[in-house]
Structures are given as structure tokens and as C-alpha cells.
Copies of this chain bind each other. A is one copy, B any other.
Amino acid sequence: MFSVTVRDHMMVAHSFHGEVFGPARRLHGATFVVDATFHRPELDADGIVVDMGRAATELHAVLGAFTYRNLDEEPDFKGVNTSTEFLAKVVADRLAERVRAGGLGEGARGLAKISVTLHESHVAWASYERPL
């Protein structure tokens, strides 16, 4: 199995609800350094998993909907905890939609799965992996 990963980041505000979150129930924020990994069993005709440049462009577009925003005010996230692991899934799902819509090119049709890791600090990160 082959994979290719591109890294970008987003800076957001948010707060959590639920006792488990302690002081993180206050409005605070995070820089998420985001790694998006594209997996496929064989390389395409150009000898690649996916066009890295397009992968980076699509990841940047997905993160553009979050960055410099307060996630508590985003209609998409009404009533949910925008935990690091939850956001990893949202990013992975939105990348999957873009792959299906052709945003990563025809060659990307051969992709088998996507994994996304969000690093919230130098000592904590979360991931989500899904098939395509």
C-alpha cells in the first residue's frame, strides 16, 4: 500500500460543553496542524498516488472554511463538540467529497482511503481514517 501526506494548518476559536472538558468549556482556541494522507494500493500512470500540488490545494480549501473563525458560531457545528477527533472526521469527509467530485483529478479515482491527523499541540493529536 502507498500513501502521500500533505500538511497545512488552521487557527480557530471554540468551546466545549460537558463536564469532562473542565476549563475547556470556556471560549478558547487552537492551532490545528493538519496532515491529510491519501492511500492507494498501486501507483497511477504518472507513478504517483495523487498530485501532491492538487492535494495541498484541496486541503487548503477545506481548511479555509474553518480558519480565523469561531466554530461555536458555525451553523454546521450547532450543538456538537468540535473536539480534535471530531474535526479530523469533518476534514476527512470533506476531502472525500472533493475526491469524488474530481477535485484531485481523474487519477485520484484509485484512492482507497483517507486519514487525517490534527495536532493540537506538541503533546496531543487526534486522527480519523475512512475508506473512499
Contact = CB atoms under 8 A, between A and B. Distances in A.
A27 B89 CA distance: 23
A69 interface: yes
A96 to B, nearest CB: 15
A123 to B, nearest CB: 4
Given A68-B23, A68-B28, A47 B86 contact: yes
Given A13-B13, A28-B70, A85 B128 contact: no
A51 interface: yes
A7 to B, nearest CB: 4
Interface centre among A7, A20, A27, A86 (most CB of B within 10 A): A20
A5 B88 CA distance: 13
Nearest to A32: B31
Given A2-B127, A47-B82, A48-B81, 19 more contacts: A1-B128, A1-B129, A2-B85, A6-B124, A11-B28, A12-B29, A13-B28, A18-B46, A20-B51, A22-B53, A27-B69, A28-B68, A29-B29, A29-B31, A30-B30, A43-B85, A46-B83, A47-B80, A48-B85
